[in-house]
A and B are shown apart, each in its own frame.
Chain A
């Protein structure tokens, strides 16, 4: 009897708990602050995810709880209170503005300096786009082109619903949930992101950039991107935007995974310009990103190009695992830090297959009181006969209050490997500045010119339209950094 009673109470409590738990409260737009299993379940339910994905998230969450935040990077920040963060908020419809007149003039000024077209300015600033421009028709044109080639390019959530077999097959196949603290966190709570699949033998006829840019406004805090290049395919993908992104979320922990099968080539370019905080170092985005590509098939190639100018903290090491024989990995990076920004970024090249080649070209630029570190690992496995790596890490200092650091790690288990590493640190010289000034070019323009010259090798790897904007972006980022 008493046992029955107990059972009843137990049942009641659990049912009630269930009744008032998050499951029943699916109408809520925003999860309460904090992170626990219920929140993970809530996110999954909100997205109407299949059971396996919920299990994936839960597994990641349980693992994350046992992990410790890494502290090996050369960055300083106050402890992050993970229970003080909202992990799910339905995409809010931003208040549409009537015209560009209502937009923050400072933002418009930057748009103009970047040379962004009026139509795009409107889209980025959230101004209602009139029928003549019609971004919807632009998108449709893109979608038609992609559909013609059977290319899948959609949000991650859509992919989970429409292509679950592909997502299931490749998700976490490059970055396992146990990989690192931030990847585990992302796996548990990722909001949304992009999914892209290029079928066998298809060469994606368009840069997946313009399209992306139009959609870039609603990127989440915990973005998840998965890109699969099937046998013999090619795609060039651009993430991000040169336009300054004002974001309320301080912590960003994204995961990007790329899989390149045999003979496939994936080119991934990033322009990151999140809010860096103010001149005194207040505010700004903490950007902890895990990006990794797997050259799974023979003769495959993955190329990362990044221009990093934003964020208060950047912790990011786009990497390539060169599994297939004759596969190639490339990393081209320009990282600029100004004021109080801190960047610890670089690349990892893991050589596993035979005759694998990798190239790392990293250009760090530090100004103000910022700190800029290159951290890289080149590892050659025992079986990776004739692996080759060339790394070049250059640092450019503007002023004498900033820092540049290089941490290259090399681990080779195969004696046929050839690994080269070059590093330089230089300053913009008074002579160079005076030479420019003597030709009528003022100090700020001169710095822009010299810095762009210094970063040219990397900027040249960007898709044309973005190369031009990125050049302007470098100059703007360094405005007022000298003199």
Chain B
């Protein structure tokens, strides 16, 4: 199993958000995590990627057979965990090209490889830019600076394509996207899916899952996964909303 989360409890400032969450993800699978706002979806992404301030109070996260509860975020990234951010930050004065080269070389250094030759790097950039339909001029700009909402999200998928993660987590990648951009993002994700990697797609709406078809759908409520099913579950949620699940639990 690529990712195995057992009885995960996560607190922010002492307040428990995740309350005993279990999730198993195998290579080649795509899991959708759904649920109402404020139930712990983004907290799960933060806990897996090791963001500061998200304290694991109980349980463990196993990645590739290793407990990563205490591992530094950059080490997790270099071991193949990627997060497509819900709100990508701007880094003024740092060009996308420079940023990407620094990231790729950090990964290569981690794997004991020499820095990527300039020619090879530029070729890879060109190739991956096409995948998500990104303008060349965007990569000359500073990281996310002056990018539209759609461009920022495309840029996340572009970085994912460049870094070729084993486990990619997409946190509300569909939020704020128009239908055309959504299709581009979905196309990018679908082309990157393979037998060697896995995806966790966090979304509030079923819309994205029309284009990125999940193998499993999980519903988070109050810090736990309360229902799991196949892709049909997403449609059911779309039709009935979340109430029928949450009411059952509250009762």
Contacts and interface: CB of A to CB of B under 8 A. Distances in A.
B52 interface: yes
Contacts of A439: 77, 99, 103, 106, 159, 163
Contacts of A457: 93
B241 interface: no
A430 B74 contact: no
Nearest to A454: B93
Contact of A440 (B88, B89, B92, B103): B103
A436 B94 CA distance: 11
Given A438-B83, A440-B74, A440-B163, A431 B89 contact: yes
A480 interface: no
Given A432-B89, A435-B89, A449 B102 contact: yes
A449 B49 contact: no
B36 interface: no
A434 B163 contact: no
Given A449-B91, A453-B92, A453-B93, A438 B49 contact: yes
Contact of B94 (A429, A440, A443, A452): A452
Given A449-B94, A452-B94, A453-B94, A437 B72 contact: yes
Given A430-B52, A432-B89, A435-B91, A440 B72 contact: no
Given A435-B91, A454-B92, A454-B93, A441 B103 contact: yes
Interface residues of A, number: 23
Contacts of A456: 93-94
A457 B53 CA distance: 34
Interface in B125-167: 142, 159, 163
B216 interface: no
A139 interface: no
Given A435-B88, A435-B89, A449-B91, A440 B77 contact: yes
Nearest to B78: A440
A437 B73 contact: yes
Contacts of B52: 430, 434
Interface in A322-348: none
Q: Most chain-B Cβ atoms within 10 A of its Cβ — which of A435, A449, A450?
A: A435
Given A430-B52, A434-B51, A434-B73, A441 B93 contact: no
A29 interface: no
A440 B93 contact: no
A261 interface: no
Contacts of B89: 429, 431-432, 435
Given A434-B52, A435-B89, A449-B99, A442 B94 contact: no
Interface residues of B, number: 29
Nearest to A451: B93
A457 B51 CA distance: 31
Contact of B74 (A429, A442, A453): A442
Interface in A434-483: 434-443, 445, 449-450, 452-457
A440 B113 CA distance: 14
A453 B91 contact: yes
Q: Most chain-A Cβ atoms within 10 A of its Cβ — which of B77, B87, B163?
A: B77
B107 interface: yes
A40 B98 CA distance: 54
Contacts of B92: 453-454
A286 to B, nearest CB: 32
A458 to B, nearest CB: 10
Contacts of B163: 439-440
Interface in B36-76: 49, 51-53, 72-74
Contacts of B72: 437, 442
A322 B107 CA distance: 51
A457 to B, nearest CB: 7
A452 B143 CA distance: 13
B180 to A, nearest CB: 26
Given A431-B89, A445-B106, A453-B142, A437 B74 contact: yes
A432 B142 CA distance: 13
B91 A432 contact: yes
A431 B88 CA distance: 9
A434 B102 CA distance: 15
B93 A452 contact: yes
A443 B159 CA distance: 19
Contacts of A453: 91-94, 142
A445 B99 CA distance: 11
B85 interface: yes
Contacts of A442: 72, 74, 106
Contacts of A454: 92-93
A431 B91 CA distance: 10
Given A439-B99, A439-B159, 16 more contacts: A431-B87, A434-B51, A437-B73, A438-B49, A438-B73, A439-B77, A440-B163, A441-B74, A442-B106, A443-B74, A445-B106, A449-B91, A449-B98, A450-B94, A453-B91, A453-B94
21 contacts: A432-B89, A435-B89, A435-B91, A436-B74, A436-B99, A437-B77, A438-B74, A438-B83, A438-B85, A439-B103, A440-B110, A441-B103, A441-B106, A442-B74, A442-B106, A449-B91, A449-B94, A452-B93, A452-B94, A453-B93, A456-B93
Interface of A: 429-432, 434-443, 445, 449-450, 452-457
Interface of B: 49, 51-53, 72-74, 77-78, 82-83, 85, 87-89, 91-94, 98-99, 102-103, 106-107, 110, 142, 159, 163
**Nearest 6 pairs between A and B by C-beta?**
A453-B93, A453-B94, A456-B93, A439-B103, A440-B77, A437-B73
